[in-house]
Every structure is written in structure tokens, then in C-alpha cells.
Amino acid sequence: MSHHIKGQGRHQITLLPEALDDFVTEGNPVRVIDIFVDGLQLDSLGFERVAAKQTGRPGYPQQPY
């Protein structure tokens, strides 16, 4: 039975909250940056492979470097 994946104990305290958004206060300037970046149209700015494939594969070449 040593090959089973062991879960966390019921009393285990997690290191991070469920969402990193919980760390950022409502008035933090990083929220403005987040809204700005989300609004960018990366494909119109010349970035390729912006849209994810239907298979969910990453948008970078699969060739070893």
C-alpha cells in the first residue's frame, strides 16, 4: 500500500488561501493593472498564439530547445 497517494489531514492548515485574490485589498493599485492587462487585445498587438486550442494544449512550440 506504499504506492497510494496520501491526502492531507483534516486539521492541516493550508499555506495559501483558496484564491490569491484574498491577499489583495480592494483599494490596492494592482487591481487597476489587472483590469488594464485583461483588457488588452494581444492578437491586435502582434502577439501570436493568443487563443488556446480546443485541445487545451499550450500555445508554445513543442520543440526542445
Q: How far apart are CA 36 and CA 33, in angstroms?
A: 5
- Look at residue 23 in the predicted model and tell me its pLDDT: 81
Top-confidence residue, 13 or 27? 27
CA distances (Å), origin 54, targets 9, 21, 38, 44, 48: 37, 28, 21, 21, 16
- Look at residue 20 in the predicted model and tell me its pLDDT: 77
Instruction: Give the tens place of pLDDT for each residue, 18-59.
Output: 777 888 899 999 999 989 988 999 889 988 777 777 777 666
**Three-state DSSP class for residue 15:** coil
| pLDDT confidence bin for 5, thresholds 50/70/90 | low
pTM: 0.49
